[in-house]
């Protein structure tokens, strides 16, 4: 033990020997030698300290950015979304920043920046020792000021040293955290100067700095404050922007115009002092007022807002490693901005008219939220109100005080309400605003190319600012549009459109999930009658005869129908019940239109494509669309379904004859093959139409936000009256545009198929030109309207009360 103690003391003395020698260099020596020793000590110690900080020696200093991170700094950048025809649709961003090159900025901005923020920028190497000394001198006088160079500010902005990186064990000592952080910033500034040119540093600084008002970087700032580009900035505008860098709120020209003017003039004086302006120029510019053209760009500026939300989800699914809100991507989509405009116009025209019809239809009859027996649903508005954010805020503020909550929910205040003339302000209560808003009908529309899967137009509802929930992706009962899969299954199993089935009485026992017992189901046609006639399948499909659809479903096998729907593109859960052929399981519009596109593509399924290519911030392609393609239907089956969809628009008694009206596709009836299918769910809650041509397929859904809000009669609420006009108006606009003549196509048969297997004596060879806008299709679908989910079919059928379903 004594030996160990002795050895330890010996080692201690040996360890202290260098320190004793170093101290001896100061004792008994002249002043010049002591000064030389101190200088040499500094020369050796500073590099060692820098290395220790970079290596986080003994965890004393915390982590620092690596050299690779310094050479390739990552900043949050806005991503740009482009249409297929090259139009900028909008941006994704958290911080609205779009980088520019040094040459894309007016040199006057760089001169103003250096004159004010770092006058010795071109002579120092990241740290301005002269500036530090001057700042220390001023601090000693009680006049504190900063001494950070532009390079140091860039390090602080780019690497967020004070938030994203720790300051190690030393940072826990009071007063040491700031010292360690400052030391890191200085070291990184020097490293940045060693690896980047002065121009690169200025460029990175201008692209990363915050100019306030959600304007990050010089490009966004120039547009936000002066509606110009960095290249076109005037000297006085550049001075305003540079002046804001000291304090973006205090010197913001919109919030504090007097402060901004004084600061701008100070910047102009500095530019004069550094020889960038003459005295006369500076004085003349100082006399000018600040002329703002202020407009803050937000994430919802631009076009095709519902589509852009879908694109963000598409990127998350296909490229989970990318962040469209910060990666500075260029996203090239399939959408055509011209077709999008036509779709939005078609939706606006039809929905404005339809809303007037709906309001007149219910005028004087009380509230439109009714159950399946036509009775007003008690507590309907209150249930909606209890789901609102405002109600939750009130209940949190007034717990166990329902009277206070009710008081504020019914307290009139200024509310902006939607209407088809741009909206209006009104003094009403929250409860009354809910009563007003739920009366509006809603819609979704999407169009795509069947061969490529490219989505060309996407309208998620009547107004994105008011209703952000996208109806293209909403789940609703498809009604008779689902019959496509029943008949396609029948064609796969060897039947033809000319084969016949009886339209007659049917009854069967089915299990009712609500009642939890077997019940007798008697499906019937919309008019409640049966013809007891043998009808060709072509006629049964075109007239949307429910009894034959149910019969075919049983004959082909419901599981086989489900399999066909899956193969053709339906991804939503489908309940294999006898009522499935009548559309009792919810689907969304996008997958339904995609499935119909499979028929137009001769049985070839292609998944929907929203994005064709993505480039990263450096212009490298990081994603190219390679959609799934596979054979879903034999060609003959697809051919027969093309003929049956065509029959639904052309045969006597067909439900979609109005598509051939002159206001829709009538003018091109002899130059394009067209088909389609209407659908209307129970109580007319959901109205559908999917239109099919060889090169373009589109579909529309129309209904209330809640299923209990609908027309009272099929004459007004059926798909041919509500949804079909949207597709018809859209196609009329598209085909009238010479740029889209490529869509005027006919199917090209791939093999000889006997006409007797699909033709009908009821086929109308001539286009239907005599339909008027307000009466088209009433007779056809009024005779054989689509019934929605029949009794006994399960959770999605009509036996479920509207009260139970009203908030689904």
- At 583-612, the pLDDT tens digits run 999 999 999 999 999 999 999 999 999 999
Q: pLDDT confidence of 138, banded at 50, 70, 90?
A: low
Q: What is the pLDDT of residue 288?
A: 95
- At 399-427, the pLDDT tens digits run 989 999 999 999 999 999 999 999 999 99
Dmax (CA) of the chain: 126
- At 707-750, the pLDDT tens digits run 999 999 888 999 999 999 999 999 999 999 999 999 999 999 98
Q: Contact at 8 Å (CB) between 459 and 569?
A: no
Q: What is the pLDDT of residue 763?
A: 44
User: Span 245-259, mean pLDDT?
Assistant: 93
CB under 8 Å to 422, separation ≥6 — which residues? none
Span of 2-11, 264-273, 288-297, 558-567 with lowest mean pLDDT: 2-11
User: Span 15-23, mean pLDDT?
Assistant: 69
Q: What is the pLDDT of residue 800?
A: 28
Q: What is the pLDDT of residue 804?
A: 28
Checking if the pLDDT of 799 tops 50, the result is: no
CB under 8 Å to 678, separation ≥6 — which residues? 480, 481, 544, 648, 655, 656, 687, 688, 689, 718, 719, 720, 723, 724, 781, 786
Query: What percent of the chain has a predicted confidence (pLDDT) above 70?
Result: 83
- At 328-338, the pLDDT tens digits run 999 999 999 99
Q: Residue 808 and residue 802: Cα distance in Å, rounded?
A: 10
Checking if the pLDDT of 557 tops 80, the result is: yes
Q: Residue 768 and residue 347: Cα distance in Å, rounded?
A: 23
Query: How far apart are the two ends of the chain, measured CA to CA in Å?
Result: 82
Phi, psi (5° rounding) for residue 370? -125, 150
User: Span 384-406, mean pLDDT?
Assistant: 94
- Secondary structure letter of residue 77 according to DSSP: B
Q: What is the pLDDT of residue 501?
A: 96
CB under 8 Å to 7, separation ≥6 — which residues? none
Q: Contact at 8 Å (CB) between 705 and 688?
A: no
Q: Contact at 8 Å (CB) between 407 and 745?
A: no
Span of 142-156, 446-460, 677-691 with lowest mean pLDDT: 142-156
CA 790 distance to own-chain centroid: 36
Q: What is the pLDDT of residue 142?
A: 59
Supply the mean pLDDT for the chain. Answer: 86
Secondary structure of 164-220 as H, E, C letters: HCCCCCHHHCCCHHHHHHHHHHHHHHHHHHHHCCHHHHHHHHHHHCECCCCCECHHH
Q: pLDDT confidence of 774, banded at 50, 70, 90?
A: very low
Q: Residue 624 and residue 762: Cα distance in Å, rounded?
A: 48
Instruction: Please name the helix (run of DSSP H) or strand (run of DSSP E) that holds residue 606, with its range, or none.
Output: strand 604-606
Checking if the pLDDT of 791 tops 70, the result is: no
Q: pLDDT confidence of 524, banded at 50, 70, 90?
A: confident
Secondary structure of 667-710 as H, E, C letters: HHCCCCCCEEEEEECHHHCEEEEEEECCCCEEEEEEEECCCCEC
Q: What is the pLDDT of residue 127?
A: 85
User: Span 105-132, mean pLDDT?
Assistant: 90
Higher pLDDT among residues 163 and 250, named by residue: 250
Q: pTM of the entire structure?
A: 0.81
Q: Of how many residues is the chain composed?
A: 808
CB under 8 Å to 289, separation ≥6 — which residues? 261
| Helix axes 402-409 and 389-397, enclosed angle (nearest 10) | 140
The residue among 233, 255, 66, 64 whose CA lies nearest residue 160 is: 64
Q: pLDDT confidence of 16, banded at 50, 70, 90?
A: low
Checking if the pLDDT of 792 tops 50, the result is: no
CB under 8 Å to 308, separation ≥6 — which residues? 81, 89, 90, 92, 302
Q: Contact at 8 Å (CB) between 628 and 649?
A: no
Secondary structure of 498-512 as H, E, C letters: CCEEECCCCCEEEEE
Q: What is the pLDDT of residue 748?
A: 93
């Amino acid at each position: 033990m004594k030996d160990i103690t002795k050895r330890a003391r010996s080692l201690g003395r040996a360890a202290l020997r260098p320190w004793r020698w170093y101290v001896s260099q100061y004792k008994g020596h002249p002043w010049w030698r002591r000064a030389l020793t101190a200088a040499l000590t500094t020369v050796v110690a500073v590099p060692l300290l820098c290395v220790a900080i970079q290596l986080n020696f003994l965890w004393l200093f915390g982590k620092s950015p690596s050299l690779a991170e310094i050479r390739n700094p990552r900043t949050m950048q806005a991503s740009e979304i482009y249409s297929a025809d090259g139009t900028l649709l909008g941006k994704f961003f958290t911080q609205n920043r779009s980088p520019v090159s040094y040459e894309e900025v007016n040199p006057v901005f760089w001169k103003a920046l250096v004159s004010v923020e770092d006058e010795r920028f071109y002579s120092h190497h990241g740290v301005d020792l002269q500036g530090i000394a001057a700042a220390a001198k001023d601090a000693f006088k009680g006049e504190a000021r900063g001494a950070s160079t532009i390079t140091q500010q860039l390090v602080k902005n780019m690497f967020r040293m004070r938030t994203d990186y720790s300051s190690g064990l030393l940072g826990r000592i009071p007063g040491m955290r700031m010292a360690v952080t400052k030391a890191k910033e200085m070291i990184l500034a020097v490293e940045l100067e060693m690896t980047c040119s002065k121009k690169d540093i200025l460029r990175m600084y201008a692209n990363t700095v915050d100019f306030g008002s959600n304007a990050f970087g010089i490009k966004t700032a120039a547009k936000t404050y002066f509606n110009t580009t960095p290249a076109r900035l005037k000297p006085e505008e550049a001075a305003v922007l540079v002046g804001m860098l000291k304090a973006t709120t205090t010197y913001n020209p919109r919030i504090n115009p007097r402060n901004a003017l004084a600061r701008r003039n100070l910047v102009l004086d500095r530019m004069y002092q550094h020889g960038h302006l003459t005295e006369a120029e500076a004085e003349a510019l100082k006399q000018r007022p600040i002329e703002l053209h202020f407009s803050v760009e937000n994430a919802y500026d631009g076009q095709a807002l519902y589509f852009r939300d879908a694109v963000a989800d598409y990127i998350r699914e296909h490229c989970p490693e990318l962040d469209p809100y910060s990666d500075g991507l260029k996203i090239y989509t399939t959408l055509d901005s011209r077709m999008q405009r036509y779709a939005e116009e078609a939706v606006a025209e039809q929905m404005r008219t339809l809303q007037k019809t709906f309001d007149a239809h219910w005028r004087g009859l009380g509230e439109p939220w009714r159950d399946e027996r036509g009775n007003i649903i008690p507590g309907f508005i209150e249930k909606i109100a209890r789901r609102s954010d405002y109600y939750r805020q009130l209940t949190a503020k007034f717990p166990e005080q329902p009277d206070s909550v009710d008081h504020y929910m019914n307290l009139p205040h200024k509310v902006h309400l939607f209407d088809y003339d741009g909206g209006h302000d009104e003094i009403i209560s929250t409860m009354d605003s809910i009563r007003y808003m739920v009366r509006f009908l809603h819609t979704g529309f999407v169009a795509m190319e069947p061969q490529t899967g490219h989505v060309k137009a996407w309208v998620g509802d009547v107004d994105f600012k008011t209703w952000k929930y996208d109806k293209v992706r909403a789940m609703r009962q498809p009604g008779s549009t689902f019959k496509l899969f029943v008949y396609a299954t029948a064609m796969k199993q060897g039947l033809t459109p000319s084969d016949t089935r009886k339209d007659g009485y049917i009854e069967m026992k089915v299990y009712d999930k609500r009642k939890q017992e077997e019940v007798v189901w008697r499906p019937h046609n919309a008019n409640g009658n049966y013809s007891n006639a043998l009808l060709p399948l072509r006629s049964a499909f075109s007239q949307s005869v429910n009894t034959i659809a149910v019969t075919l479903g049983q004959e082909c096998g419901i599981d086989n129908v489900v399999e066909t729907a899956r193969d053709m593109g339906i991804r939503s859960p489908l309940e294999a019940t006898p009522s499935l052929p009548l559309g009792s399981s919810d689907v969304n519009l996008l997958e339904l239109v995609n499935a119909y596109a499979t028929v137009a593509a001769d049985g070839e399924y292609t998944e929907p494509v929203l994005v064709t290519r993505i480039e990263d911030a450096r212009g490298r392609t990081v994603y190219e669309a390679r959609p799934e393609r596979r054979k879903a239907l034999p060609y003959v089956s697809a051919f027969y379904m093309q003929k049956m969809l065509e029959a639904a628009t052309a045969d006597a008694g067909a439900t979609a004859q109005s598509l051939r009206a002159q206001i829709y596709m009538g003018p091109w009836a002899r130059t394009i093959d067209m088909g389609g299918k209407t659908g209307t769910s129970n109580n007319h809650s959901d109205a559908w139409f999917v239109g099919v041509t060889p090169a373009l397929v589109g579909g529309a859904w129309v209904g209330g936000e809640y299923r209990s809000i609908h027309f009272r009669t099929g004459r007004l609420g059926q798909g041919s009256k509500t949804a079909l006009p949207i597709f018809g108006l859209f196609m009329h606009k598209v085909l009238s545009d010479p740029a889209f003549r490529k869509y005027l196509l006919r199917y090209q048969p791939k093999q000889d198929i006997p006409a007797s297997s699909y033709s009908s004596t009821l086929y109308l060879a001539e286009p239907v030109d005599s339909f008027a806008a307000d009466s088209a299709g009433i007779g056809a679908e009024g005779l054989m309207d689509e019934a929605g989910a029949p009794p006994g079919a399960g959770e999605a059928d009509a036996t479920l009360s509207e009260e139970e379903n009203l908030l689904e």
